Amino acid sequence: MSDAVVCLPSLHALNALPGVTARFFGRMTGVDVMRERREAMALLAPYHRQLLQREGLDGFPLITAEQVHGNEIAFLENAEAYTQVPIRGVDGLATTQQGITLGIYVADCAPVWIVAKDGSAGALLHSGKKGTELGITTRGITLLCERAHLKPDKLMIVIGPCIRPPCYEVDFAATIRAQAASSGVSEVHDDLVCTACHSDLYYSYRRECGLTGRMLATLTLQPRPS
């Protein structure tokens, strides 16, 4: 399954930040996911757990979002209180808590990492066409700045693989970049990877007519010595 851990140049910038671990798990070779979302996710769940273990992240609680194509973001202050996951009604997760892993599932929509350059806080968002139109990235920046007492220029943003023109009629990744710039974030990384163009690495909801798996994007703020 090592091929499922996609090495994105943009993630190197995130992983170079102090105490930050960001991962993106792509297509699982040999796993038949040509089925509805719930069944496909159930098939992929044990593989994702194994990958998290291989990456040394199995010791941290994995907190995920329901993802309803909206712009609501949950700020996690006490992750131990979230016994029911995914967290209902949200498309984003943000935290300053160390020792937990935020997770977002995607299959054409963009995973968006927003992380403090000092590693003190981070957010992970699910932003497709609808979420982007609703300004979830702008809301994520504002929430992180307010709750973690940061300035936008102290943040780094990474836009992960997502569907793009000409495979899709809307370039929502470009809109995300514009939203980040308008919010005052100057450091935005985007490898310009289209999920629909690379069937060997990624699942694509549009290319596979809805019967496909989901990639997992994660963000962990590692515990630091006291």
At 83 the pLDDT is 60
* pTM, 2 dp: 0.95
Q: Which amino acid is at 155?
A: L
Degrees to nearest 5, angle at CA 180 with 174 and 184:
145
> Which range is least confidently modeled, 1-5, 35-39, 101-105?
1-5
Write out pLDDT tens, residues 26-50: 999 889 999 899 999 999 999 999 9
Query: Which H helix or E strand runs over 95?
Result: strand 92-95
Q: Do residues 106 and 215 make contact, with C-beta atoms less than 8 angstroms apart?
A: yes
How far apart (Å, rounded) are the C-alpha atoms in residues 21 and 140? 19
Q: Give me the half-sphere count of Cα atoms (radius 13 Å) on the Cβ side of residue 128.
A: 19
Q: Which residue ranges make up each domain of the chain?
A: 2-219
Name the fold adopted by 2-219. Answer: CNF1/YfiH-like putative cysteine hydrolases (3.60.140)
Among 36, 42, 192, residue whose Cα is nearest residue 110 = 192
What would the pLDDT profile of 63-91 be if each residue is shown by its tens digit? 999 999 999 999 998 867 766 679 999 99
Tell whether the model's pLDDT for residue 207 goes beyond 60: yes
Reading phi first (left if > 0) and then psi (alpha if -120 to 50, else beta), residue 218 is in beta
The confidence band for 57, taking pLDDT boundaries of 50, 70 and 90, is very high
